[in-house]
Structure 1
Amino acid sequence: MSSPTATARFTSAYSPTMTDSEHAAAIERLAQAWREADCVLIGAGSGLSTSAGYTYSGERFDRLFSDFKERYGITDMYSGGFYPFDTLEEYWAWWSRAIYCNRYAPMPKPVHRLLLGMLDGSVRARGGETAGSAKDYFVLTTNVDHCFQRAGFDKARLFYTQGDYGLWQCSLPCAQVTYDNEQAVRAMVEEQSDMRVPSELVPHCPRCGRPMMPNLRVDGSFVEDDGWHAAAKRYHNFLVRHEKSRILLLELGVGGNTPGIIKYPFWQLANANPQATYACLNLGEAAAPPQIHSRSICINADIGQTLTELARALRR
């Protein structure tokens, strides 16, 4: 991965305002880059989840967490994760509901499935034939909602760098081990009352007895278990294998909070490989540095709608 120092020269970026005709031309350029690519490397941030319906504030939050909003003054799911609850019973009432809504409940929109359909070649042209061949691909994501695997993506092609709502870990932690939580989370959601879970459902580490916590990268206690390291190695191997390939670097909804994980490395990969194309799909934040301007496609629009237009272009 690239260090902040190594990417310092990529400080100047542009974000063009596009007319309808320029937007349509960008979709066609992206479709052409997709057809010509040997492989696709997807970098997915929170904007992709938002496009798929996983909004953390507004109507969805009010519908799912109105009781927490009224009692504690919490106004969104992100800040609620840092609320200093007085008891573990309250803490897990919040977290079990947040995990269930964002990890186990039905996916609001089929954005990820649409993307997979283009990658595996199952998107069909008007005549019934496939709109393109399957692509060698890999997904690097900071999202923790596990939407890619739930949509059918190959687990061996995914690297969740920041954790997974479906896992928890020791809060110390006493070991680099994570634990599946689906059964426990569903029980907490079912049995919580007055924004508390029964005390007997509060999870504790089976090794040391300390309270558990979600396996999310919020501080230095984040556990990188064997599965995390295996995924990191597969990602590295993908980069090595395609170092000189015609690669499409497809960045979806990556903002400025953690640019060193996806955005800056993608810029560097595009700059180092003259056969690479960098595509940034991001509502309100589509940008690329001047160094790779000629091989960049920036589309400032909703990601789900853009992917729908891309699928339509590939069918033609």
Structure 2
Amino acid sequence: MALDTAQIRRAADLLDEADGLIIAAGAGMGVDSGLPDFRGNEGFWKAYPALGRSRMDFARIASPVAFERDPGLAWGFYGHRLALYRSTRPHAGFGLLRAWGEAMPQGCRVFTSNVDGQFQRAGFDPAAIYECHGSIHHLQCMDGCESAIWEAESFAPEVDQERCRLLNEAPRCPHCGGLARPNILMFGDGGWIERRSAQQARRLEAWLEMVERPLVIELGAGTAVPSVRYFSQGIVARGGRLVRINPREPEVANRRDAGIAAGALEGLQAIAALRAQT
């Protein structure tokens, strides 16, 4: 299906008018890099057949309870994801966004519900990124020991992908020696240490105070888990504009904004191609 040229033109115009760019990214942002889409049990179980055989859905494995009941299985899942994200090369759309943001007077910032660290891998300033659900590249104690958060770089998971089980030793808390878990907001998670994300939120808010004409480019963020959409709507409510790129739910409420029915990379490349013509 051909993309809506009028919406792409509107998006290009909004880029020209803005003095600061906010990239708001949901799970769909990583699909064009080859990362699995966990939308629905079918896609999730295709990526993790061992969990499919036991009929364990994403919400059950992505939970502190999973670490309490079966750490080897929980770390098999998260260890596989950690290794995958470390080896994945961000798609070309990341570079387009970075170039557009760097050309603006106030630069750019990132708000993402993704825990994969792809924006850091794509060369974005880590201090300019707000990961609202945490990061798989950081760990914390299962017991909240010392309220500490540390980087996971020394942990090299070895995973039996057929059984979705960790083969080597799980990471341990450097303070008490107890089991460590990802510093990620999971389902039913009352133990997530949010200090790192809260610091990121304060930095983003301070930056927003300096921006007069903010533009949000929202990518791959649906309504099922609406964290990114709520953020985008908040920017619009304070006078910002919105470009929404989403293959299934591209609609925008304000006709001054733009909604492009496309995947992240396709939509960004369409905007870039049109801008190159002018």
- By the TM > 0.5 criterion, same fold? yes
Q: Are the equivalent residues in 1 in contact too, given 2:247–2:261 (CA < 8 A)? A: yes
TM-score, normalising length from structure 2?
Answer: 0.83
Q: Which residue of 1 aligns with 2:243?
A: 279
Q: Aligned equivalents of 1:70 and 1:146: distance in 2?
A: 26
Helix, strand or coil for the counterpart of 1:264? helix
Gaps of 5+ in 2: none
Helix, strand or coil for the counterpart of 1:248? strand
Q: Which residue of 2 aligns with 1:106?
A: 88
Of the candidates 108, 118, 128, which is equivalent to residue 137 of structure 1?
108
User: Residue 173 and residue 137 in structure 1: after superposition, are their counterparts in 2 closer, same or farther (change >3 A)?
Assistant: same
Q: Which residue of 2 aligns with 1:91?
A: 74
Q: Aligned equivalents of 1:257 and 1:178: distance in 2?
A: 29
Count of paired positions: 270
Give the residue type in structure 2 aligned to 1:204.
R
Helix, strand or coil for the counterpart of 1:153? coil
Q: Which residue of 1 aligns with 2:232?
A: 266
What aligned pairs does 1:130-209 form with structure 2 within 5 A after superposition? 136-184=107-155, 186=156, 188-189=157-158, 196-198=165-167, 201-209=169-177
Of the candidates 238, 257, 262, which is equivalent to residue 301 of structure 1?
262
Q: Aligned equivalents of 1:254 and 1:265: distance in 2?
A: 11
Q: Aligned equivalents of 1:215 and 1:110: distance in 2?
A: 28
User: Residue 60 and residue 110 in structure 1: after superposition, are their counterparts in 2 closer, same or farther (change >3 A)?
Assistant: farther
Q: Aligned Cα RMSD in Å?
A: 3.0
Q: Which residue of 1 aligns with 2:193?
A: 223
User: Residue 162 and residue 144 in structure 1: after superposition, are their counterparts in 2 closer, same or farther (change >3 A)?
Assistant: same
How far 1:108 sits from its partner (Å)?
6.1
Larger radius of gyration between Structure 1 and Structure 2: 1
Q: Aligned equivalents of 1:309 and 1:135: distance in 2?
A: 24
Q: Are the equivalent residues in 1 in contact too, given 2:30–2:90 (CA < 8 A)? A: no
Percentage of matched positions with identical amino acids: 25
User: Residue 189 and residue 38 in structure 1: after superposition, are their counterparts in 2 closer, same or farther (change >3 A)?
Assistant: same
Deviations 1:269-312 (A, max 9, x none): 32342xx32211111111223xxx23211112112101011111
Q: Which residue of 2 aligns with 1:288?
A: 252
Q: Aligned equivalents of 1:192 and 1:269: distance in 2?
A: 41
Deviations 1:143-192 (A, max 9, x none): 100110100011121111111111111112123221211331x2x32799
Helix, strand or coil for the counterpart of 2:147? coil
Q: Aligned equivalents of 2:215 and 2:166: distance in 1?
A: 46
TM-score, normalising length from structure 1?
Answer: 0.74
How far 1:27 sits from its partner (Å)?
0.7
Q: Are the equivalent residues in 1 in contact too, given 2:76–2:160 (CA < 8 A)? A: no
Q: Are the equivalent residues in 1 in contact too, given 2:140–2:181 (CA < 8 A)? A: yes
Gaps of 5+ in 1: 1-18, 122-132
